[in-house]
Structure 1
Amino acid sequence: MGVVALHEFLESCGGFMGAGNDYRSARLVLVGAPMDFTVSFRPGTRSGPRRIREVSVGLEEYSPYLQRDLKDYCYYDAGDVVLPFGHVPQSLNRLESVVGQLLADGKFPLVLGGEHLIALAPVKQMARAFPGLNVLHFDAHADLREDYLGESLSHATVMRRVAEVVGSRNLHQFGIRSGTAGEFAYGRENTGFYPFEILTPLQQVVDRLHGCPVYVTLDIDVVDPAFAPGTGTPEPGGCSSAEIMAALHMLKGLNVVGMDLVEVCPVYDQSDRTSLLAAKLVREAILLFGG
């Protein structure tokens, strides 16, 4: 397919700060997935990818955490995937095709959501490309329902579908503080399930995953709404923005092969603090995984 064909599926939305114009030389490629077709509470996450890019210019390109600078990295912002509105399977298939081409071209995909269901598409492609893939899932919600209102493809079922793709023991879930009794029972029995906590269990898992291919899916609502109110289903009792930054930095040295950051819903955050946090996490991810 290559870069020319890829652009048939993508539309430019303004680039993330410092992004270059050379797709072929880029190691990491940003792609937006502006989908919120299955949300059950507050819609609006389709605006997340664009707003994350817009506010990124308010940040420095230098990370004092990592002592690295975006100007020293070659990364590309491919824009947003053009999705057929309301068609969930077709939208996921289109995103899956885009991610598959990025992998074929040797790129690190960093996908910006959009609702959490979009994570299923890159995970499917990653699992094909990287046997034994492990998924690190940061979220307030378990997302382990077998179905939601009769639908198997939903933001409330996405991690159950992911577990079916990679194997439940290769799914590691952190910060979970909301779900049904059945979801918590399934998680405790089947996945690497670490409710309420992030940093301590993450360190234990990281120590076991060196050398394994790892995909990261980060729902911004893992962060307490005091720090990140701009999300579709806010859940009190979460981690701080500093803690989620620390969690991302703990992945340094792992074989991380792809990532998504989802559920930023700008309409519910007049301060832009949620989008700014997301943009800062994207900056750190580029510096960690885009070299």
Structure 2
Amino acid sequence: MSTKQEKIQNFDPSQPGLAEASIFGLPFTADESDIVIVAVPWEVTVSYGAGASDGPKAILDASYQVDLLHQDFPDLWKLGIYLDEGPSHWKANSDLYKEKAAPLIEALENGERIADDRELQADLDAINAASAQLKREVKERVLSWQQKGKKVILLGGDHSTPLGYYEALGTAYANFGILHFDAHMDLREAYEGFTYSHASIMYNATRLPQVSKLVQVGIRDFCEQELKEVQSSEDIKVFTDADLKKGQFEGKTWQEQVDRIIGVLPQYVAVSFDIDVLQQWYCPNTGTPVPGGLSYEQAVYALNRLAASEKKIIGIDLVEVAPGEDEWDGNVGARLLFHLCGVLAKNNGLAVGDRVVLGD
């Protein structure tokens, strides 16, 4: 059997990725890979657009066409990146409980009280129990990879999926912040009765004792409850899209704004990247689109700046990629995921090579 070094020597990164291989067409096993991506195809509580549970599969399919010579991280592929597709019951349970959630959401939209309907209340209880079980299983899965020395990235699914991931990070880091890229604050408490709603992920995350700071970037949609949550906490800092653009229009450079964002983070940082922080033409099928947003280049620059800073990136999740009839969402998601792998690797001192400089 070939060693990892022999595979590196015999693999041609200029050719299309190997379809029978893992993500990005790489030939490495899980044991040979420095980075493991845990896919969580789950979207039970979505109340608007659907499809996030199909995001990991769309990203995997698109990943085979990603050129492996990354300008910022030219040797990234040599580290090995492996996709853990997760147990089959995650997707099966997502489909099952999403079907149960639809009548609940419809009843709430019609002004009904779930507690007045015994059957609906039973379904709500079952959904919350299944979501809690997913959280526990994600935590255990991530911990198992961390114990093998892997750098772990979580790939959703909707934005409810990383909570168990944050709990796993909390077993190694007693104090860390979350740098949250998103169009939404996700600070609603038990949105629509769902304890682990995608709209409640940051509310739930900030209740973890290890999470000492939440820094939100690109926000452009929030409710009164979420605003009160921000205003009542010294540990939440929000950089709305409107404020960032206002600063840009009035002469602040993106570098200045990014450095200010990084400056308020604690030493240890987990990055949560909801694809809908980007302008919608990058993710036309994401579940809850909002006008405005960051460009892909702005996001990449901010991530690179963080990677080169003195902050320590302890984890990254990418969520809410939902495929459409074409491959565009998966294509953007795959390329962003590859970049996120490079950001995590570089910041953690793994050998990714020197940036390729073309021209002056």
Q: TM-score, normalised by structure 1?
A: 0.87
Structure 2 residues without counterparts, runs of 5 or longer? 1-19, 98-129, 246-253, 351-360
Query: What is the CA-CA distance between 1:67 and the residue it aligns to?
Result: 4.6
User: Is 1:242 matched up with 2:248?
Assistant: no
Task: Tell me the secondary structure at the aligned position of residue 29 of structure 1.
Answer: strand
Q: Which residue of 2 aligns with 1:162?
A: 205
For 1:96-150, what per-residue CA distance to the aligned partner results, in whole angstroms no more than 9, with x for missing partners? 1101111222211111110000011101111121111111110001100112122
Q: Which has the larger radius of gyration?
A: 2
User: Is 1:61 matched up with 2:78?
Assistant: no
Q: Which residue of 2 aligns with 1:117?
A: 160
Query: What is the CA-CA distance between 1:274 and the residue it aligns to?
Result: 2.2
CA distance in 2, matches of 1:68, 1:103: 25
Query: What is the CA-CA distance between 1:72 and the residue it aligns to?
Result: 2.4
Aligned match of 2:178 in 135, 138, 153? Answer: 135
Structure 1 residues without counterparts, runs of 5 or longer? 1-12
Which letter does structure 1 place at the counterpart of 2:63?
S
Aligned partners of 1:20 and 1:76 also within 8 Å: no
Which letter does structure 2 place at the counterpart of 1:205?
I
Which letter does structure 2 place at the counterpart of 1:255?
K
CA distance in 1, matches of 2:59, 2:40: 12
For 1:161-217, what per-residue CA distance to the aligned partner results, in whole angstroms no more than 9, with x for missing partners? 01111567511111111110221232244201111139554422324547x221111
Q: Which has the higher helix share?
A: 2
User: Is 1:203 matched up with 2:246?
Assistant: no
Query: What is the CA-CA distance between 1:39 and the residue it aligns to?
Result: 0.6
Q: Which residue of 1 aligns with 2:357?
A: none
1:1-291 pair list within 5 angstroms: 15-64=22-71, 66-82=72-88, 83=90, 85=93, 86=97, 87-166=130-209, 169-190=212-233, 191-196=236-241, 197=244, 199=254, 200-209=256-265, 212-253=267-308, 254-267=311-324, 270-290=325-345, 291=350
CA distance in 2, matches of 1:28, 1:71: 10
Moved more, 160-169 or 88-97: 160-169
CA distance in 2, matches of 1:114, 1:187: 26
Moved more, 31-40 or 236-245: 236-245
CA distance in 2, matches of 1:166, 1:277: 34
Moved more, 222-231 or 45-54: 222-231
C-alpha RMSD of the superposition: 2.1
CA distance in 1, matches of 2:31, 2:315: 18
Query: What is the CA-CA distance between 1:71 and the residue it aligns to?
Result: 3.4
CA distance in 1, matches of 2:294, 2:40: 25
Query: What is the CA-CA distance between 1:81 and the residue it aligns to?
Result: 3.8
Moved more, 67-76 or 176-185: 67-76
Query: What is the CA-CA distance between 1:58 and the residue it aligns to?
Result: 1.9
Aligned sequence identity (%) = 27
